[in-house]
Structure 1
Amino acid sequence: MSTSYSSLTHYQEITIIPDPDIAPYFIWSKLFTQLHIGLADIKNKQGIESIGIGFPDYHYDDKGKSSKLGLKLRVFALSQKDLETLNLNGRLSRLTDYVHIKSISEVGDKAKGHLVVSRYRPKNPLKQAEEFAKYKDISLEAALVHCAAHKQDNKPYPHINLKSETNQQPYKLAIIQEVTDSACKGSFNSYGMNNKVDSVTVPHW
């Protein structure tokens, strides 16, 4: 097991403040919309794509009975300057009644492991059938019949409801978070997640 947990040396922690009148997932939507815009903004303007996220209280139950994101988000970066550029306090200023943002801190020796955080996308049914047809060396028609008969329900990963900035269409950002033994450096996408090129990680504790 690697002893070097990550080159991401600084982080900020955001906690959703429990409110009996407002569901946490409503706040997650508002919070993540601003985070997504911010990460895309600094990537386009400053070329910063090394900011990643982790959910300390994440839990996934494959039966969907208790899957949750929790109420905390950690945002990691290569330096304090990168987090200052992202400016979470400014971007989330409208949510000050609903979230608590800690000051930028060093990861130091807190990390006990690594996380790979990714977006879950169900496979396109046609693509799934094409892959199955190739694997079994059968016709596409037969593969479509098989896949329809053995259709898998979408896995109940925790998700955040968002709207597309381009067409305002709603979509679900389903999130997979897995603990891994090895740290991996790389770039993150504009959600602060694994870009699928490699299993880039963030510190975990």
Structure 2
Amino acid sequence: MTDSTNLNYFQEITIIPDPEIPPYFIWSKLFTQLHIALAEMKNEHGIKSIGVSFPDYHYDEKGKSSKLGLKIRVFAPSQKDLETLNLDKWLDRLTDYVHVKGIKKVPTDKVTSYFSVHRYRFKPLDVQAQTLSDKLNISYDEAMATVAKRKSEMPLPFIQMHSQTNNSNYVLKVLQQPCSEATAGSFNSYGMNGMRDTVTVPHW
């Protein structure tokens, strides 16, 4: 399968299992650093083409189980982009907890599918109802009856994040799903899509 998204290079990061430190704690530290690095790439270099995926991601649609796994792949169109990102520098303090592999070409002969990875955001039902009430000029109760029939929030895998801007904690929920075809475009500063975009990354 040919990768038409032009994400030709990648690096893989693996969390090293530690019986004393849960993976979710390392995910928080790792992804906070990655988020800052990607924001810098966008602001200082104008690069928005770096995306991520989670090779061992699992989500049961019935909500019985979900996990990010212990790996993340960071994709870019060129080797130079990943060199500029410089993951080794950003993850220097985590060398006891994560293993960062060198930059490699995407093995296009092994690519079996494509995934879109999203920062999942869900508006609470009361907010949805108020928005619909204002939009259609109907009562709040009528609007609530309508939105109550919509899909409920998905219990997805998540990473606990800390905002450098307002010094607060928040949850980064991750929705990774297969796509029928490759799609090129830009990613946000999490290396993901918003809820309306479907820019893909290769999977093998």
How does the TM-score come out when normalised to structure 2? 0.90
**1:176 aligned onto 2:175:** yes
The superposition leaves residues 92-139 of structure 1 with CA deviations (integer Å, 9 ceiling, x where unpaired) of: 00000000011000003231111100011112434422565599x782
**Alignment RMSD:** 2.4
**1:129 aligned onto 2:129:** yes
Q: Secondary structure at the match of 1:184?
A: coil
Contact 1:117-1:194 at 8 Å conserved across structures: yes
Amino acid of the structure 2 residue aligned with 1:120: Y
Structure 1 residues 200, 151: CA separation in 2 closer, same or farther (over 3 Å shift)?
closer
The superposition leaves residues 8-50 of structure 1 with CA deviations (integer Å, 9 ceiling, x where unpaired) of: 0000000000000000000000000000000000110000000
Q: Secondary structure at the match of 1:56?
A: coil
Instruction: After TM superposition, list the pairs within 5 Å mapping 1:1-205 onto structure 2.
Output: 3-109=2-108, 110-130=110-130, 139-146=138-145, 154-196=153-195, 198-205=197-204
CA distance in 2, matches of 1:124, 1:73: 29
CA distance in 1, matches of 2:125, 2:196: 23
CA distance in 2, matches of 1:196, 1:154: 13
Q: Secondary structure at the match of 2:59?
A: coil
Alpha-carbon offset, residue 150 of structure 1: 6.0
Q: Secondary structure at the match of 1:128?
A: helix
Q: Secondary structure at the match of 1:139?
A: coil
CA distance in 1, matches of 2:79, 2:59: 31
Contact 1:161-1:171 at 8 Å conserved across structures: yes
Contact 2:24-2:159 at 8 Å conserved across structures: yes
Number of equivalent positions: 203
CA distance in 1, matches of 2:24, 2:166: 22
**Fraction of identical pairs, as percent:** 55
Contact 2:2-2:111 at 8 Å conserved across structures: no
Gaps of at least 5 residues in structure 1 are: none
CA distance in 1, matches of 2:152, 2:146: 12
Alpha-carbon offset, residue 188 of structure 1: 0.3
Q: Secondary structure at the match of 2:72?
A: strand
How does the TM-score come out when normalised to structure 1? 0.89
Q: Secondary structure at the match of 1:100?
A: strand
Structure 1 residues 90, 4: CA separation in 2 closer, same or farther (over 3 Å shift)?
closer
Q: Secondary structure at the match of 1:142?
A: helix
Q: Which moved more, 1:139-148 or 1:79-88?
A: 139-148
CA distance in 2, matches of 1:98, 1:193: 23
